[in-house]
Amino acid sequence: MENLQELIQSSTPLLIDCFATWCGPCKMVPPILKEVKDKLGDKIRIVKIDVDRNPQLSSQWQIASIPTLLLFKEGKLLWRQSGVVPAHQLLPLLQQYVQ
């Protein structure tokens, strides 16, 4: 398994789901991400990061509320949004960044 920094630097877009186990709205995100993965397949990678277990990343990315989605490609943060984003809104947004 590649480390997170390698995934962030990759030319394959990386969608990071910042969540916490105690967060109610965060529980709505996995089925949305599954739908995204089913549609985009290998064109995107999706990683979940528990903010409570990774406080240094939360601080580095200035995560103030969860869930927060972050999209990286080739080391650049292309997009971020806090809150639950429905699949029908998330897919077109991501499609502009995938090959």
Q: Are 73 and 11 in contact (CB under 8 A)?
A: yes
The answer to whether 18 is a known catalytic residue is no
Cis peptide before 31 (omega within 30 of 0): no
Closest alpha carbon to 68 in 55, 54, 82: 82
Phi, psi of 20 (to 5 degrees): -140, 150
Candidates 23, 40, 46, 78; catalytic one: 23
CA distance 68 to 2: 22
Candidates 15, 18, 26, 36; catalytic one: 26
Q: Which residues are catalytic?
A: 23, 26
